[in-house]
Amino acid sequence: MTRSARKRSPRRLRRMTAGIIHEVNNPLNYVKTTLYTLRRRLDPGSPGVREMLEDIQDGVDRVQGIVTSLRTFSHPSHELRKEESVESIVGDALRLVSHETRGSVTIETSIPPGLRLLANRNQITQVLVNLLQNSLDALKQRGERADTPFIRIEAVGEGICDKLILRDNGCGIPPRIPGPRL
């Protein structure tokens, strides 16, 4: 790939993502408006109505969170680093791979409340997404095992994150294959 093609690729991605975000936000706004109207018109005392409305709201909130994460992920800022919430960054990364994990993988997180990380948010989110996708690939290759596939994300530190650890019970990394001798 030429240097100019590499420079155009992020622009194309941003333009395509902006279009997708726009196309998702339009029906999402329609659903939110309709949900608001339903809440005002339906009797919340009717059997199951409140639960259905809450389920719809949860779904709308999840879609909105995914759109927000996608916007942040695809439009990287040029700022260097700043303090970010580890819990929020991990949440963004998990939302971006949620379509691959839902119902098939148990996700465990252990992140001390208020833990911060000095980082470029977009870059660290991209690293986490890549690690999560590697874990998901390893889980697919693990064969038939009795234990439930899981991914565990653990953050260690007090105030500022010292370590972010991602573990899975996938097939593991094969022994290193000797490379060419230099």
Residue 23, in any domain of the structure = yes
Residue 176 located in a structural domain: no
* Number of domains the chain is built from: 2
Give residue 100's domain range.
Answer: 82-140+149-168
Residue partners of 77: CB distance under 8 A and separation at least 6: 120, 121, 122
Judge whether 130 lies within some domain. yes
Question: Does some domain include residue 175?
Answer: no
> Does residue 61 share a domain with residue 99?
no
Amino acid letter, residue 112: P
Domain for residue 132, yes or no? yes
Residue 37 lies in a domain: yes
pLDDT of residue 5: 46
Is 2 inside any structural domain?
Answer: no
Specify the amino acid at residue 70: L
pLDDT digits (tens), the chain, 182 positions: 454 444 556 677 777 777 788 788 778 877 887 887 787 777 767 777 878 888 888 888 888 878 877 776 666 655 567 888 999 999 988 988 888 887 789 999 999 999 999 888 878 888 898 899 889 888 888 777 778 899 999 999 888 888 999 999 988 776 665 555 54
* Whether residue 86 is found in the same domain as residue 161: yes
Q: Which residues are CB-neighbours of 53 under 8 A, at least 6 positions away?
A: 35, 38, 39, 42, 44
Residue 30 lies in a domain: yes
Nearest Cα residue to 86 out of 150, 157, 152: 157
What is the C-alpha separation between 89 and 34, in angstroms, rounded? 31
